[in-house]
Structure 1
Amino acid sequence: MRSVPAQRGGRARLSPEVRRGQILDAAEALLMSHGGLPLPLDDLARAAQVSKALIYAYFPTQHDLANALLARRFAALLSAGLEDASARPELFDAAQACAELYFEEVAQTGPVAHIVLRDPFMAGRIDPDIAAIRDRIARRLARAARRGLRLSPKEAVAALSLMTTIPEEAGRLVHAGDLSLGRGRELNRRLIASSLRALTPDQA
């Protein structure tokens, strides 16, 4: 027999985990429409169908809320296999695998991680554990780029930063409905491959 949420005042009482997820769902959608941080809490409370006081109970500051959004997206990427993808021995395989995972993430949820990481509101306020994951994967790919493409450390970081925009923009277009999922996947794959080929040193 299926359990029914407890009722209070004619409304279902949701568990704290479900209620927190409801707030984060609404915050992600609002972030996509608002385009930056901090989020207007009146709008968030209305979208999540909760009081502002309850939002503060779960997320005492907007930095806490933004880091929760970021943690959610990084958890999804790690669950999809981002660590293993970045650790592939061949640069082309690692770059393509990571780009495909990031594209799928952005296509489904929008560029949530990008917005939070780049917004000036979060300068110096990114959760250290999340920053450590980001930096570990970036360093791993940068080392592979230095070896495989014979780039200097700064050039490798710059190249990876530029290539990250490919799955990000392709995914954003799919999420916005301006590009089909199949076409987005194809463009992402082909553009990453052509970028890597263009950077590969001449073997002659």
Structure 2
Amino acid sequence: MAAAPKRRTRLAPEDRRNAILDQAAGLVIDQGLSGLTMEGVAARAEVSPALLYHYFPSRLDLLQAVLRREYERLHAAQAIENTASADFEDMVRRMTALSLRQSEERGLLIERLMSDPGVVAAFEVENRADRRAAVRFLSRRLARAHDIVEAEAEAIVELCMGITAAAGARIAAGTATRVKIEPLTIGMILGAISAGVAEIKRR
């Protein structure tokens, strides 16, 4: 007796869109950008090419949507950690740990997406605005926590963000494990904050 044909599950448009993005992200992780084709994504997501193009008119649109969703998820997670923080030091610990977990879990995906010039160009202005907003937010928190001027706190914040970025790059490259580098990173950031605040107050 012949097996019944497999019936495609009907999903709500947003669920279908996310399912497509999941499969596209999986292809980028498994095969790199060169392995991602619209036909391959359609097959993996079990949708017709016509439906895929309905959601994403081009390969670049698809890649941009994958990256945008990664950042949206990170921002949502950051908001949760910020709300849960007991004080500034706790927030630093939580935010750093979150950033390094992202590097461990999604760093390869983001690195590969950002290697596409079209994706980078599309996000250049957005990324600058996001970073600037993050620096302002953290500088305000640092200034209030240590009773220093926000403009002076900004230099400390930017240097500390560089520490986190360097640690995340090592995790994504496989040259360090998150378990080992996370406490070192947090210790360096808290030490840099203490030294920076002390230097500012000494002047």
| TM-score, structure 1 as length reference | 0.65
After superposition, the CA RMSD in angstroms is 4.1
SS of the counterpart of 2:122? coil
Partner of 1:160: 161
Larger Rg: 2
Does the C-alpha gap of structure 1 residues 130 and 63 become closer, same or farther in structure 2, counting only changes over 3 Å? farther
Alignment of 1:1-204 (within 5 A): 10-15=6-11, 16-36=13-33, 39-80=36-77, 82-83=78-79, 85=81, 92-117=89-114, 119-126=116-123, 132-141=129-138, 156-167=157-168, 169-170=170-171, 173=174, 184-198=178-192, 200-201=194-195, 203=198
Give the C-alpha shift of residue 79 in structure 1.
3.4
Give the C-alpha shift of residue 65 in structure 1.
1.8
Q: Deviations over 1:18-76 (max 9, x none)?
A: 32222111111122234448943233233223333222111113343233223322332
Question: Where do 5+ consecutive residues of structure 1 fail to align?
Answer: 1-8
Question: Where do 5+ consecutive residues of structure 2 fail to align?
Answer: none
Q: Give the AA of the match of 1:25.
A: D
How far apart are the structure 1 equivalents of 2:92 and 2:35?
A: 32
Farther off after superposition, 45-54 or 148-157: 148-157
Q: Larger helix proportion, structure 1 or 2?
A: 2
Number of aligned residue pairs: give it. Answer: 189
